[in-house]
Structure 1
Amino acid sequence: MQQITNNRSEQEYVLDVDGERAVAAYQREGDTIVFTHTVVPPAIEGRGVGTRLVRGALDDARDQGLKVVPQCSFVRAYIERHPEYRDLLR
């Protein structure tokens, strides 16, 4: 399985699949992480890549004790569909 990486210098979580890179961009503000947008290249859409990426990013936020602000509509929809992540919302 591909590894989700937190590229702190670029403030983005990344997941490389078949030579393509999916990205969940964020901004850290103290103990809060604001997810600003998610990009999944068309070549790897429809394969659950965005879902895996966002789940990994949210799990990492939880591990760090961060609160989440889902400005990104994809992240917001994921949390709405997965109530086990609602406790992360700021």
Structure 2
Amino acid sequence: MTTVVIDNPSASRFEVREDEKLAGFAEYHVFKDEIAFLHTEIGERFGGRGLAGQLIGTALDTARERRQKVLPYCPFVRGYIAKHPEYTELVPREDHARFGL
């Protein structure tokens, strides 16, 4: 199986595809140099394969490359950052307490 994560800016979301089928997405809103992650969803038949982690890892790596500040409103994104502290620096320090980081 081939898994790919793409940014779909026209839909304001990162998408994870497995064999070209949409498996899930992470919705976002961009304002200036910030990207706010709002909601992450993986289709029921694609669950349990680690696709959400691949999706968010790629989305956060992309935010880092673009020098965007990350606002993790989505609980899954917050949890992912908490488990992968190398991404904590993407969240503005003044927002760490707000997001429980």
Q: CA RMSD in A?
A: 1.0
Gaps of 5+ in 2: 93-101
Report the identity percentage.
Answer: 37
Larger relative contact order, structure 1 or 2 (CA cutoff 8 Å, min sep 6): 1
Could you tell me how far apart the structure 1 residues matched to 2:23 and 2:49 are? 13
Gaps of 5+ in 1: none
1:58 is paired with a residue whose SS is helix
**Structure 1 residue identity aligned to 2:3:** Q
Segments of 4+ moved more than 3 angstroms: none
Name the TM-score, length of structure 2 as normaliser.
0.85
Name the TM-score, length of structure 1 as normaliser.
0.95
Q: Which has the larger radius of gyration?
A: 2
**Structure 2 residue identity aligned to 1:9:** S
Partner of 2:34: 32
**Structure 2 residue identity aligned to 1:47:** R
Partner of 1:21: 23
Count the aligned residue pairs. 90
